[in-house]
Structure 1
Amino acid sequence: MNTHHQGLLFSDALMSEIKNRFHYVDHDIEGRERLFFDNAGGSFRLKAATEAFVRIDSLPDCPERIHALSLFLQKVQAEGTDDVRTILNARGGSVYASLTASGAMFDMVRAVTENVPGTNMVTSILEHPSSFDAMSLYAQRTGKELRVAKSNPVTGGIDVDEIVGQVDQNTCLLSVMYASNISGAKMDIEAIVKRARAIKPDLYILVDAVQHAPHGLIDLQKTPVDGINIAPYKFFGCRGSGLAWLSDRAATLPHHKLAGKKADFWDLGSSAPWQFAVVTEIVNYVCWLGSQFVRSTNRRELFVCGIDRIERHERALLARLLNGGESVAGLRTLPQVKVFLDYEDLSKRDLILAIGFDHLGHTDAVREYESRGVIVYERVASSLYSKRMLDSFSLEGAIRVSPLHCNSVADVDHFLQITREISEAFAPAAFGPAA
């Protein structure tokens, strides 16, 4: 799949159907017109997902009972658990429902580092704090060396050679993210796993897939890792939920659990059934999208097609943002605008852009966008979520632009027109001659 280097847009008719399945794509809660281009911080919500949340969470019933509604909730959880496996193409192992994906990552890192022999741990400079800080904390607690792979300022990602070069026979854990939440660069997880395991066949590997999961395919049969996490609130779902999958061997490592539970059980206390209902609605939606292009009764096949079409549409939006169209200039050619980490091969990128203005600070630019009905986000070196990554690219900051597949070409063109307005308003000539 993904043979279209510049992507492939949804038809206008399908685009209209897609938008109608999400809340607040074109307007905010007060009815004001708005472009929300901060989906890397939390995506648009599926109407079906929020409806499932309310419907299931409204029930007072405990799923650990034997009456009818409890059995219904057990079924909801079982279906949602299966759908986590559908998203990941996971077989066996354990699904772990946590309050946040960050919490799940800390728990997985702890289980490996405290129980697997080795003198060093490997990660990358671009990791989200939930994985980087977990690796740092448990390296310190267990007396292990933390090896950190450097970023590539050309691609905006991490080279396979760079991260695999940190692995040796004494590495107990490799933790790497699927895609950068600043540059959008996708890591070659398949190559990283294959080559790292060639060095150490029993190496434990964890992957942070929170940023990438809504934008591209994950296939654990091609990338057999030991733990991976996703966050429904960045995947058309709801906040207050983090989900992880652990391999059979990782799931049975010593970890916090109730003594009476099975050795591979990770949930502490009673999981909220709505978490699983929301996952099922996410998968239902992606499968519906896939069904517009292929005929199949296989849920994974439909999901694969749906995610592939999401990826193609988003790549076309990314190309439009960068290059513009007949009536609008792209970010690459707009005066006073800089595109950071602008790697040419769009197949290696998710739909995230880092930009800046020559004569306008990043935070001020975000305010200018908001005053014009556009929501973007500033990544600045003073933020604990940004400093380490920005420093690795020698950047002081950037404006992160992150639409979603439910955005249209018209949305992108409107954003480009507003960006031109801002660039012209703050160009040196706009302020007149110096006094």
Structure 2
Amino acid sequence: MSSRQGQLFSASLMEQIKSRFHYVDHDVDGRARLFFDNAGGSFRLKAATDVFAGIDALPDCPERIHERALYLQDIQTRGEDDVRRILNAREGSVYLSLTASAAMFEMVRAVMENVPGTNAVTTILEHPSSFDAMKLYCERTGKCLRVAPSNAETGGVDVDAIVSLIDDDTALLSVMYASNISGAKLDIASIVERARARKPDLFIIVDAVQHAPHAVIDLQKTPVDGINFAPYKFFGCRGSGVTWLSPRLAELPHHRLDAKEKGAWELGSPAPAQFAVVSAIVDYVAWIGAQFSDADDRRECYVQGMQRIEEHERALLSLLLNGVGEQRGLRAMKGVQVFWDHDDLTRRDLIAGISFDGLDPTAAVRAYEARGVIVYERIATSLYSGRMLESFRLNGAVRVSPLHCHEPSDIAKFLAVTEEVASTSRVECELPESAVHSY
């Protein structure tokens, strides 16, 4: 089914998809708006916010024996099952924490404090929750942190660059599934296969927060020890991070109530509403899958849905780069530079990084907002961007991240605004200094 340029949803399905999300075309105040910062958050499914509010309003504790408590237990069980469906995970432990970042620190700590080795491996593009955790626990355990460099052309990290750092004394490999700076996908299947060929019992942790909303994840094909995602970036709600741990990682020493099983990571009473949000996400993606498949299996419907989402987003990325109808794309715009741009769109999530001649990223983001468009400035002074941008030898970039609930007309509107911003910046850049100050 997969095509290198993607495949758009039909107009009728697109209308239904948009109707299932809050604030796609307008903000909360009713003003027309394009929200193209979905790598920093995400549109919320109406079903997710509704089910969260309804279940969270219940006063009942799920750790009881009465009817409503049993109902909440069923919601948690279904949510755990749906986490496994999202990841195609078997055995192991499902752990919902306050944030995906907190869980990352805990996973890294468990491995680094309990698994022998003299070094640990990561990449320069990791989110601070992973990179800083690796740095911290390397310092605490006396291990050397080995960091694979980025590839400035692809925006990712080459498999060879990662695997070459692994040896018999490597305790942990921590790697992200895709960059939330550039959108570049890392070849996790090859990384896992080659890393385990070098050291069969190597512990591997994957940050899938950026990638999970955009494509299928299959732990049967990429057997790692720990992986996390964030529902709030996955059409869901804020307030939880979702983690799966392999049996051997789950049973490493960690904070745990003594009477619980060794593989349990949950502390305190569960939040059934957060599990219900995960199920609402799977319901939605499986609904998309059911438009294209007669499969009865929930995981198969989910896979079909994610594949269609990926195809639609790839088609949107192609339009973003190449244009919509008579509206030229980013690649052809005067005064606009596209970073990490290459033709293989199968290796990219729906993210573009751009810059403007004569206009810094922060000023560009403000110019977009004045025209009803929300994007994000990645700048070198940001704790979430500096290390990664430095690896690309950039001071900043404007990150553009639509979502699958956008359609070609949304991309065309964005491109028209971008051309206007670029034109304005060129005029200001070409004016003599005295004329600029006269404003």
The reply to whether TM is greater than 0.5 is: yes
Q: Distance in 1 between matches of 2:431 and 2:249?
A: 64
1:48 corresponds to 2:56: no
1:31 aligned partner? 30
Aligned-residue sequence identity (percent) comes to 66
Q: Distance in 2 between matches of 1:364 and 1:426?
A: 10
Q: Distance in 1 between matches of 2:192 and 2:152?
A: 22
2:373 aligned partner? 374
Secondary structure of the residue that 1:338 maps to in structure 2?
Answer: strand
Superposition deviation, residue 321 in structure 1: 0.4
1:78 corresponds to 2:69: no
CA offsets 1:301-346 (integer angstroms, 9 cap, x no match)? 0010000000000000000000003210000010000101112210
* Structure 1 residues not aligned, in runs of 5+: none
CA offsets 1:219-250 (integer angstroms, 9 cap, x no match)? 00000000000000000000010010000111
Where do residues 123-142 of structure 1 align in structure 2 (5 Å cutoff)?
Answer: 123-142=122-141
Secondary structure of the residue that 1:229 maps to in structure 2?
Answer: strand
1:97 aligned partner? 96
Q: Distance in 2 between matches of 1:429 and 1:241?
A: 45
Sort the Cα spacing of 1:423 and 1:245 in 2 relative to 1 into closer, same or farther, 3 A: same
Superposition deviation, residue 185 in structure 1: 0.3
Secondary structure of the residue that 2:160 maps to in structure 1?
Answer: helix
Q: Distance in 2 between matches of 1:125 and 1:226?
A: 21
2:203 aligned partner? 204
TM-score with structure 2 setting the length: 0.98
1:349 corresponds to 2:371: no
Conservation of the 8 A alpha-carbon contact between 2:378 and 2:397:
yes
What letter corresponds to residue 392 of structure 1 in structure 2? S
Q: Distance in 1 between matches of 2:355 and 2:428?
A: 18
Superposition deviation, residue 428 in structure 1: 3.4
Q: Distance in 1 between matches of 2:221 and 2:393?
A: 34
Q: Distance in 2 between matches of 1:342 and 1:239?
A: 32
What letter corresponds to residue 149 of structure 1 in structure 2? A
Secondary structure of the residue that 1:156 maps to in structure 2?
Answer: coil
Conservation of the 8 A alpha-carbon contact between 1:156 and 1:343:
no
Q: Distance in 2 between matches of 1:11 and 1:39?
A: 22
1:282 corresponds to 2:294: no
* Structure 2 residues not aligned, in runs of 5+: 435-439
CA RMSD in angstroms, aligned pairs only: 0.9
Sort the Cα spacing of 1:434 and 1:249 in 2 relative to 1 into closer, same or farther, 3 A: closer
Q: Distance in 2 between matches of 1:59 and 1:381?
A: 45
CA offsets 1:259-293 (integer angstroms, 9 cap, x no match)? 11110000111121111000000000000000000
What letter corresponds to residue 394 of structure 1 in structure 2? R
1:17 corresponds to 2:16: yes
What letter corresponds to residue 213 of structure 1 in structure 2? A
Conservation of the 8 A alpha-carbon contact between 1:390 and 1:396:
yes
Secondary structure of the residue that 1:217 maps to in structure 2?
Answer: coil
Superposition deviation, residue 431 in structure 1: 5.8
Superposition deviation, residue 433 in structure 1: 5.7
1:113 corresponds to 2:120: no
Where do residues 304-343 of structure 1 align in structure 2 (5 Å cutoff)?
Answer: 304-343=303-342
CA offsets 1:102-150 (integer angstroms, 9 cap, x no match)? 0000000000010111110000000000000000000000000000000
Q: Distance in 2 between matches of 1:93 and 1:122?
A: 23
Q: Distance in 2 between matches of 1:394 and 1:289?
A: 40
Secondary structure of the residue that 2:39 maps to in structure 1?
Answer: helix
1:398 aligned partner? 397
Q: Distance in 2 between matches of 1:239 and 1:77?
A: 17
What letter corresponds to residue 338 of structure 1 in structure 2? Q
1:183 aligned partner? 182
2:172 aligned partner? 173
2:437 aligned partner? none
Q: Distance in 1 between matches of 2:197 and 2:422?
A: 50
Q: Distance in 1 between matches of 2:428 and 2:240?
A: 49
Q: Distance in 2 between matches of 1:169 and 1:251?
A: 22
Sort the Cα spacing of 1:11 and 1:92 in 2 relative to 1 into closer, same or farther, 3 A: same
Q: Distance in 1 between matches of 2:9 and 2:110?
A: 43
Q: Distance in 1 between matches of 2:319 and 2:380?
A: 29
What letter corresponds to residue 242 of structure 1 in structure 2? G
Secondary structure of the residue that 2:332 maps to in structure 1?
Answer: coil
CA offsets 1:139-194 (integer angstroms, 9 cap, x no match)? 00000000000000111100000000000000010000000001100000000000
TM-score with structure 1 setting the length: 0.99
Sort the Cα spacing of 1:187 and 1:430 in 2 relative to 1 into closer, same or farther, 3 A: closer
Q: Distance in 2 between matches of 1:344 and 1:419?
A: 21
Secondary structure of the residue that 1:40 maps to in structure 2?
Answer: coil
Sort the Cα spacing of 1:126 and 1:96 in 2 relative to 1 into closer, same or farther, 3 A: same
2:236 aligned partner? 237
Superposition deviation, residue 425 in structure 1: 1.3
What letter corresponds to residue 61 of structure 1 in structure 2? D
Conservation of the 8 A alpha-carbon contact between 2:358 and 2:429:
no
Q: Distance in 1 between matches of 2:53 and 2:196?
A: 44
1:147 aligned partner? 146
What letter corresponds to residue 322 of structure 2 in structure 1? N
Conservation of the 8 A alpha-carbon contact between 2:324 and 2:411:
no
Q: Distance in 1 between matches of 2:145 and 2:433?
A: 52
Conservation of the 8 A alpha-carbon contact between 1:93 and 1:251:
yes
CA offsets 1:24-61 (integer angstroms, 9 cap, x no match)? 00000000000000000011000000001101100010
Conservation of the 8 A alpha-carbon contact between 1:92 and 1:247:
yes
CA offsets 1:59-109 (integer angstroms, 9 cap, x no match)? 010000000000000000000000000000000000001000000000000
Q: Distance in 2 between matches of 1:121 and 1:343?
A: 31
1:57 corresponds to 2:56: yes
What letter corresponds to residue 74 of structure 2 in structure 1? K
Secondary structure of the residue that 1:147 maps to in structure 2?
Answer: strand
Q: Distance in 2 between matches of 1:430 and 1:55?
A: 53
Q: Distance in 2 between matches of 1:169 and 1:402?
A: 39
Secondary structure of the residue that 1:398 maps to in structure 2?
Answer: strand
What letter corresponds to residue 151 of structure 1 in structure 2? S
